[in-house]
Chains A and B, each alone.
Chain A
């Protein structure tokens, strides 16, 4: 499990930090995917995005340790 991080004296679960990182990181990925035209190969862009975010977040939550 990720370690807590301290924000002005309050210990916050690492998972929250990971979620924020993934969301911000995904903004960049989204731009990149749009540029190379991945969405042409996608049936339901919104569903695809959600799936991608959940998958990346779960991977980070499961395997990234700090």
Chain B
């Protein structure tokens, strides 16, 4: 009799232990604060020229690290040099005109009222003033021409890597049209797409460890923020468009969580778009931590 009891007991204890462990494994995979769906991201700046013209020089190679302010490529300067010369010539002409008008006005001022009419004096003063303003306007044109000339050298807006270089000498660069992409080297971060079932286990500032798909040493990061809105996929303007085919099975949607990289081990090459695994280091009560 006791023997039968022991046999039942051993079996049932095994089953209970198995159930508890299986439940914990399920919880870990379903609610543990970790995701394998995370991407490395970085700011990609599309560099476009501010002036149009033929590209006469490309000073960087593909994938090269550039410093902020370094010249990336140069647009044909001849036209902008000519424009500057023209502006300088107009300025000289305006100055000469002003000098003459000013002298005239001063001369007339010293003549007595019985020699020259008030109207004539006033007209001379006015034309001196107009000539003076023409000089200022010509100066502005010169400044604009100088600016255009300076803008023919397109500079790197940030420290970063030139990527997917498609600019060649002889290409025509249009003002405002993106020609080159520079990846900001200080902006690398991780975008973790956590299932909505796991979001409640995450807090801003939590330490996370990041593991690249390629393995290798772990990166350390901190949660910078959790997205507070995602599209439901069928947003039609301001009107709700509720999905009618929604009965039993529900899929957890993913919420983007932004993670600032705190420590990247030396020798780890990051490229925006890489897949990685993110897990929160500090376990929340009742949720098993992921390693």
Q: Is B219 an interface residue (CB 8 A)?
A: no
Interface 9-residue window, one of B2-10, B142-150, B265-273:
B2-10
Contact A62 B8 (CB under 8 A): no
Known: A1-B36, A1-B277, A11-B213. A58 touches B22 (CB 8 A): yes
Contact B291 A65 (CB under 8 A): yes
Contact B10 A42 (CB under 8 A): yes
Closest residue of A by beta carbon distance from B34: A1
Known: A43-B4, A47-B15. A61 touches B10 (CB 8 A): no
Question: What's the tally of chain A residues with a CB closer than 8 Å to chain B?
Answer: 23
Most chain-B Cβ atoms within 10 A of its Cβ — which of A42, A51, A55, A59?
A: A51
Chain A residues near B211: list those with CB within 8 A.
3
Contact B11 A48 (CB under 8 A): yes
Minimum distance in angstroms from A20 CB to a CB of chain B? 16
Q: Is B279 an interface residue (CB 8 A)?
A: yes
Contact of A58 among B4, B24, B213 (CB under 8 A): B24
Contact B18 A43 (CB under 8 A): no
Chain A residues near B29: list those with CB within 8 A.
1, 15
Chain A residues near B10: list those with CB within 8 A.
41-43, 48
Q: Is B21 an interface residue (CB 8 A)?
A: yes
Contact B14 A48 (CB under 8 A): yes
Q: Is B288 an interface residue (CB 8 A)?
A: yes
Closest residue of A by beta carbon distance from B21: A58
Question: What's the tally of chain B residues with a CB closer than 8 Å to chain A?
Answer: 29
Q: Is B25 an interface residue (CB 8 A)?
A: yes
Query: What is the bound-complex CA distance between A12 and B215, given in angstroms?
Result: 14
Contact A61 B18 (CB under 8 A): no
Minimum distance in angstroms from B99 CB to a CB of chain A? 80
Q: Is A32 an interface residue (CB 8 A)?
A: no
Q: Is A17 an interface residue (CB 8 A)?
A: no
Q: Is B290 an interface residue (CB 8 A)?
A: yes
Chain A residues near B4: list those with CB within 8 A.
43
Contact B18 A58 (CB under 8 A): yes
- With A1-B29, A47-B11, A58-B22 already in contact, 5 other A-B pairs whose C-beta atoms are closer than 8 Å: A44-B11, A54-B21, A54-B22, A55-B17, A55-B22
- 12 A-B residue contacts at CB 8 Å? A1-B32, A1-B290, A41-B7, A42-B11, A44-B11, A48-B14, A50-B15, A54-B19, A54-B22, A62-B24, A62-B28, A65-B291
Interface residues of A (CB under 8 A from B): 1, 3-4, 11, 15, 41-44, 47-48, 50-55, 57-59, 61-62, 65
A-B interface, 9 closest residue pairs, ranked by CB to CB distance from nearest: A58-B21, A51-B14, A43-B7, A54-B18, A51-B18, A55-B18, A51-B15, A58-B25, A43-B11
